Amino acid sequence: MGRPGRGRALTVRAFGLRHGVCEASVQTFVRRSAVTTVGFLGLGRMGAPMAARLVAAGLDVAVWNRTAGKAEAFAADHGTRIAATPAKAAENADFVISMLADDAVVETVHTGPDGVFAAADEGTVVIGMSTVSPVTTRKLAEAAVARGLRFVDAPVSGSTAAAESGTLTILCAGEQADVAAAEQVLSPLGKKIVHLGSNGAGAAMKLAVNTVVHGLNNAVSEALVLAERAGIDRTAAYGVFLESAIAAPFVAYRQAAFERPAETPVAFLLDLAIKDLRLALELAEDVGAELPQAEKNVAIFREASRAGYGEHDESAVAQFLRAEGGVA
């Protein structure tokens, strides 16, 4: 397991010894007062509520975000420390957690000159929670181990609401002992922590789950627009969805986005859905699987993105289809 409160413990020990407190008394105080330290990287729609959960659990959290203003605002709201770089977030941390947008950013944040691996102490548990390629995950795990670090592949399934309530499903992979150590900081984030195998398995499982999620998104979009074109009120149609055989959790928690798109905050960018399905199709090619529905769905997302919906929520596929059919 990571060494709880390592940075604080060293500071307290040095201060005590400098002021004449005996070693035994200092060590007793350190054991009783140590707080687990976490460097958290990425304060986006999922990362911010996840970091907030860790603060609420009593952990000592240092946050970093590419847009510094987000880190400053988060620190002001939650009383966390701000790290100027990923390396600063990793210094003296027991755990480093990343929740970032894509493979390129994840690699830079971990392996760059100001990255996690440049500063993390031996034995630190590095937890990758971003949706990335299994190839990227395995590469990072190998680089971490080469530096004496421990790596856990742990993407999540669940909405922003689940991130806020700490009810995510966490798809873990890595060495059994490392996953067990990571549970200390993953437990405040998720209701279910599943160990799926070696590093890369978590990333692969996340892509499989998101293949279904994005397929549901497009199926609901098509069906809702079909019902509307047949003269059925949008809210009435969605109410039937919620009481029918298709009433999956996704359908329930995306109700507002589909019924009132102009009033509902973005939960999942349409362009990120394209990224997910691209990675899923690459994985399918690597393992010899066929994903004909995913191929169709990514084509629909790309058409919607070209039409100007890329920065909208992925449920904007319904808006795109309405516009394609000449219906506002």
Instruction: Give the active site residues.
Output: 206
- Report yes or no: 100 and 130 within 8 Å, Cβ to Cβ: yes
- Report yes or no: 201 and 155 within 8 Å, Cβ to Cβ: no
Residue 125, amino acid: V
Tell me the longest C-alpha to C-alpha distance in the chain: 83
Residue with tokens 């039937």: 240
Residue with tokens 């309530």: 165
Of 217, 10, 185, 198, give the one whose Cα is nearest residue 98.
185
Secondary structure E strands in the chain: 37-41, 60-64, 81-82, 95-98, 125-128, 150-153, 156-157, 168-172, 190-195
Taking the C-alpha atoms of residue 14 and residue 281, their distance in angstroms, rounded to an integer, is 54
Supply φ then ψ for residue 81, to 5 degrees: -85, 155
38 strand-pairing partners: 61, 95
Of 282, 279, 252, 271, give the one whose Cα is nearest residue 316.
271
